[in-house]
Chains A and B, each alone.
Chain A
Amino acid sequence: MTDIARIDNPAAVPATPARRRGKLGPFWNTRLLGVAFIGVLLILWEIAAANAIFPPMSFPRMSSILSTWWQLLASGELLGELLPSMWRMFAGYFIGVALGVAIGLVMGYVRFFYNLLEPITEVLRPIPSPAYLPIMILFLGIDDEMKIFMIAFASVFPVLLNTYSGVRSVDPIQLQTARTFGVSGRKLLTQIVLPASSPYIFTGMRISLAVALIVMVISEMVAASNGIGYFILSAQRGFKIRDMFAGVLTLAVLGYILNRLFLLIENRVLAWHYGYTQQRT
């Protein structure tokens, strides 16, 4: 969007970046402060473990956790566990998002479907996903289908609810404008309703991404023979405590990377939205 920043007409509002870049000042005014804080906590961990403040058996030194983590990464063992986890998570996530958007759109757009589906949504939504895991095992076994179903099911609701709110909040003037141009029915849905509610849909998708990660780990801990959740639990059961911590660390890094990737895509797709909302306030 570099061409937008170069506006030579004073009447035009310049595009503002979606995220404000911190000016280089004293480092405690920047994000570096928080990064340094993490470093301090890790050093405190190291000191606490070296002085055996907690039982050393279950609280190893951070340095040894990191070196174990590095070995597990280098040997490819962690990657071997991560790949099946990622497959399950993304398969379930994308199925959930697709269903959530589709159901949310028809609920927001057609009163009949809202009346039909709203009560069941409200009944199913509050059930914590681990609670229906045993049922899913009964019906789908302990293979990937069960986990993908679990992840998809849990991912549906945040997307569905946000899509629904998005559709309800589409400006009636935009809809009327489209109607004057002869746009109606399914075209109206794809051309106006979907893009206009995309900021809401993205919010739902971001919540669902975190949900998918959680349900992936839980379902792998309960019933799996591979995957990162399985790896963490079996490391703990086999007293490989450093492996266990390395697994958790992997999840932290994975979650961070996924969120950053998501924001990157969102900032691109919704660039118009940030500018638009800034103009109105």
Chain B
Amino acid sequence: MSQSCRTVLRVCSVHKSFAAAGGTTVALNGIDLDIEAGGFVSIIGPSGCGKSTLLQIMAGLATPTSGEVFFGSSRVQGPPADVLYVFQQYTRSLFPWKTVERNVAFGLENKGTMSRAEIAGRTRELIGLVKLTGFERHYPWQLSGGMQQRVAIARALACRPAVLLMDEPFSAVDALTRVGLQELVRSLWRELNLTVVFVTHDVDEGVYLSTRVVVLSRAPAAIALDVPIELPTPRDQIATRALPAYLDYRARLLGQLFADEGLKSMEAA
């Protein structure tokens, strides 16, 4: 980790509670988190613990009940221009009335700072990066799930964001497609000097992809574990996953999750 430890995204004692039947439910209970520039940070936790809520607050899509989020030096009050979000539900996030290239160009067209030719060039470049050349004129619904999520990733990256927030982006695709998407995101992260915050419920995915894994506890969520992942690069789907260090990380994180769920004691009994 020779990169400078400049913090791009800072979450300061964020609380979030929802009004629910018979009172309020506390989802996030005082989260402090600094995301350093160039990092690949995975947030894992039991389902329903509020990790997606945390990501939405970081994106400016939801407001915390108390606490603040800073992007650089400015306080996040709406979606910042340099922070983009990739939704889990790609079928609903892509615009079905737009072709692949119109979807990818969407963010650029709305910035209004680029000429038509520049937009076309950037769009072509990004479609190439996510390996969808030849599908420019297709509609999203004519593509497989993995391809659709690649369109969504290209659409976000076309705007050259500093930070990419990804909410369980690969949970709806099959295992092989998932491996392909993992490799794609890893390589884009390296090539484009991105900062990625990646929410997942899959410990293996988190360890394999990340430079750091943050484990949230059951709701009301707090940070239970914050582990820097020091595995050799470039990572390899088979070799990396067989390293003793990888297995150690995996065991440690799973242990934390299982303890939180009370699973270990059930097995022992």
| Interface residues of A, Cβ cutoff 8 Å to B | 3-4, 7, 9, 11-15, 171, 173-174, 176-177, 179-183, 187, 191-192, 195-196, 198, 272-273, 275-276, 278-280
Contacts and interface: CB of A to CB of B under 8 A. Distances in A.
A7 B95 CA distance: 21
A273 B96 contact: yes
Contacts of A196: 95, 97
Interface stretch (B103-111, B121-129, B194-202): B103-111
Contacts of A11: 143-144, 146-147
Contacts of B97: 195-196, 198, 272-273
B81 to A, nearest CB: 6
Given A12-B144, A181-B84, A192 B95 contact: yes
A279 to B, nearest CB: 4
A279 B142 CA distance: 8
B159 interface: yes
Nearest to A198: B97
B59 interface: yes
Interface residues of B, number: 33
Contacts of A182: 79, 81, 107, 110-111
Contacts of A191: 110
A180 B139 contact: no
A7 B138 CA distance: 9
A14 B142 contact: yes
A13 B87 contact: no
A174 B92 contact: yes
Nearest to B84: A180
B92 A276 contact: no
A12 B87 CA distance: 21
Contact of A180 (B85, B95, B135): B85
A15 B142 contact: yes
Contacts of A272: 96-98, 139, 141
Contacts of B84: 180-181
Contact of B142 (A174, A187, A273, A275): A275
A275 B141 contact: yes
B116 interface: no
B142 A7 contact: yes
A196 B111 CA distance: 21
30 contacts: A4-B139, A4-B142, A7-B142, A9-B135, A11-B143, A11-B144, A12-B135, A12-B138, A14-B142, A15-B139, A15-B142, A173-B87, A177-B87, A177-B95, A179-B61, A179-B78, A180-B59, A180-B84, A180-B85, A181-B84, A181-B110, A181-B159, A182-B79, A195-B97, A272-B139, A272-B141, A273-B97, A276-B139, A276-B141, A280-B141
A73 to B, nearest CB: 41
A280 B91 CA distance: 9
B137 interface: yes
B89 interface: yes
